[in-house]
Amino acid sequence: MTTYVVGTHSVHTAATLCDYLGTRVGAGDTVVAVNSLSGGSATSSEDIRDGEDALNAVASRLGERCTVETHQYVRGNDPHEDLLEAVAEFDADELVIGVRKRNPTAKVVFGSTAQAILLNADVPIAVVPLVAVE
């Protein structure tokens, strides 16, 4: 019985992370999908809708294979804070995040959210490359 925390902000990200998890999860496992929003004027109704769609994508893609919980946090935290808190709250075994592919020069540096997670997580992290959507 494994618990995964998955951070997502779009349907595309959710689909890519579900492709990764699809071969790993089974009955008895739990996927906790998290969408983190700042709130206030920094969050539009489109951001909320995109987050809900992303969470629904995880539930629909993995719901028949395992238990899926979805959480949309609007607490003013940075996404890495919400994800790391979810790892602790749900006693997760693994954290799954997506990272955008970068050009060869920029590959050395992750985005700020991924970097903060990599530096502060105390569970294994699966870093799944995201392909740009045209």
Does pTM top 0.75 for this prediction?
A: yes
| Tokens coding 106 | 């920029």
Read off φ and ψ for residue 32, nearest 5 degrees.
-105, 105
Cα-trace Rg, the chain: 14
> How confident is the model over 8-56, as pLDDT tens digits?
999 999 999 999 999 999 999 999 999 999 888 888 899 999 999 999 9
Q: Which domain holds residue 87?
A: 3-130
Read off φ and ψ for residue 60, nearest 5 degrees.
-75, -30
CATH number for 46? 3.40.50.620
CA distance readout (Å), 98 to 9, 27, 41 = 10, 24, 26
3-class DSSP state for residue 53?
A: helix
Count: domains in the chain: 1
